[in-house]
Every structure is written in structure tokens, then in C-alpha cells.
């Protein structure tokens, strides 16, 4: 009975896809490097990314989902002394590879993504964030699992790399819900995914 109540309490769960990408739509170079994330642009009319606001916003995220390459990038950043970007939130890595588990909050999963999201994540978490990479994000959209897409565009063109969405097999209709520009030159676009949750009618 307790499990039923838990599921009912999370019927308003929301799955968000969020990644930072170059203006030409790449989330990393072909070798996985993201050295271009630090840019020197300034946009005088943009908003300041207040640390207190960022901290408060991150507290609203209940768990993170990522692919193996994104996880390896996070481990590399941590190894360089840049810290673990996902705090103490549960972090699920979608992979069939044997990767190091560096903290208790990390879990690995390989299997059906729809069953994992609808059967495990949505009943347990209200705000689920997919944070990379391109193949994982595309699969999430193909199966109609995402409620919104947040696209942080950095002021740089890198010419080639790993695309934001890899191998989408159909059109995905979106509704632009919000636009925000920052003093760093980054622009954040927030789109709602049209259609019904878990329904192939996300596509048009």
C-alpha cells in the first residue's frame, strides 16, 4: 500500500533533457573533450548567474540520468579538482560497460529505458534530469519520455563533434516556453515537448 501512495504522490513528475552545446549543436568534440565550454564573451544586457539562485535551483532537481561518456567526463572533471557536479543527488548511469562506482549515490542501469523511466524514476522522483549525452537524449525523445528540453547555447562554433541529439528518426514538435540570455553570452532555451507522455504522438 505504501508503494501505491508513493506513486500517486508523484504523478506530476517531470523529465527534463538539459545540455550545454555550441551554437552549431555539438555537446563535445569527437574525442569527448569540452575545453570550449569556458568562453570569454560578454553580453551587457544579459542576466547574472547568481550563485545563490543557482544553488536554490539545483535543490529542485531530484535525480540525474546520463550516459557512460557523460559520466566519464564528470569523473575527469572531478579528477582535475573541479568537483562532482551532481552533489549528493541520486545519479543513474545508463551503460552496459563496467565503470568505476565512485560514490554511493551512483547507480548503473542497462535495459529498457521506458520501463526504467516510467516504472522506476517517475514514481520515486518529481524532477528527473537527463544531462547527456546525445544518444541518451535522442532515445528519451524517441520513446516519448521527455516533458521538456533545456538547451544552453554557448557563444562558440566548434565545427564538428558529438551532436546534441543523435539519430532522431522523426520530427519532434516543441513549444518554446522561455528564453533567457546571460552576461556570459550563453542563451538558455526552454521547450516543452508536445504530445502526451509516453505516447508516440510526440511526433508529427
| Band of residue 11 on the pLDDT scale cut at 50, 70, 90 | low
Q: Return mean pLDDT, the chain.
A: 88
Cβ atoms 185, 43 nearer than 8 A: yes
Residues 94-119 have a mean pLDDT of 94
Q: Is 168 helix (H, G, I), strand (E, B) or coil?
A: coil
Distance CA 62, CA 59 (A): 7
* 78 vs 62: CA distance, rounded Å: 21
Phi and psi at residue 34, in whole multiples of 5°?
A: -130, 40
What is the pLDDT, as a whole number, of residue 200?
A: 40
Q: What integer is the mean pLDDT of 165-173?
A: 85
pLDDT number for residue 132: 87
Average pLDDT in the 144-173 region? 92
Mean pLDDT of 70-82: 90
Which comes out higher in pLDDT, residue 5 or 178?
178
Grid cell locating 14:
517531470
User: 20 and 27 in contact (C-beta within 8 Å)?
Assistant: yes
If you search the block for the grid coordinates 528540453, which residue do you land on?
149
- Of the pLDDT bands very low, low, confident and very high (cuts 50, 70, 90), residue 12 is confident
Q: Is the pLDDT of residue 196 over 50?
A: no
Residue 101 scores a pLDDT above 90: yes
How far is 90 from 182, CA to CA, in rounded Å?
29
Domains in the chain with CATH codes: 2-202 (3.40.430.10)
Rg, the chain, Cα only: 17
pLDDT value of position 201: 38
| pLDDT value at 9 more than 50 | no
pLDDT of residue 168: 82
pLDDT of res. 1: 32
Amino acid at each position: 500500500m505504501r508503494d501505491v501512495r508513493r506513486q500517486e504522490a508523484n504523478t506530476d513528475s517531470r523529465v527534463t533533457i538539459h545540455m550545454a552545446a555550441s551554437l552549431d549543436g555539438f555537446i563535445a568534440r569527437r574525442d569527448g573533450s569540452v575545453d570550449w565550454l569556458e568562453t570569454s564573451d560578454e553580453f551587457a544586457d544579459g542576466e547574472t548567474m547568481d550563485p545563490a539562485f543557482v544553488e536554490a535551483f539545483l535543490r529542485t532537481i531530484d535525480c540525474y540520468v546520463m550516459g557512460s561518456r557523460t559520466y566519464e567526463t564528470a569523473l575527469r572533471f572531478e579528477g582535475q579538482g573541479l568537483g562532482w557536479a551532481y552533489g549528493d543527488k541520486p545519479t543513474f548511469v545508463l551503460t552496459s560497460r563496467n565503470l568505476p562506482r565512485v560514490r554511493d549515490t551512483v547507480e548503473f542501469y542497462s535495459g529498457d529505458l521506458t520501463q526504467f523511466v516510467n516504472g522506476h524514476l517517475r514514481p520515486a522522483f518529481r524532477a528527473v534530469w537527463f544531462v547527456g549525452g546525445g544518444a541518451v537524449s535522442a532515445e528519451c525523445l524517441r520513446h516519448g519520455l521527455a516533458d521538456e528540453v533545456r538547451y544552453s547555447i554557448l557563444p562558440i562554433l566548434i565545427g564538428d563533434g558529438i551532436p546534441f541529439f543523435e539519430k532522431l528518426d522523426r520530427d519532434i514538435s516543441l513549444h518554446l516556453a522561455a528564453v533567457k540570455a546571460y552576461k556570459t553570452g550563453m542563451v538558455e532555451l526552454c521547450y516543452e515537448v508536445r504530445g502526451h507522455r509516453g505516447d508516440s504522438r510526440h511526433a508529427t
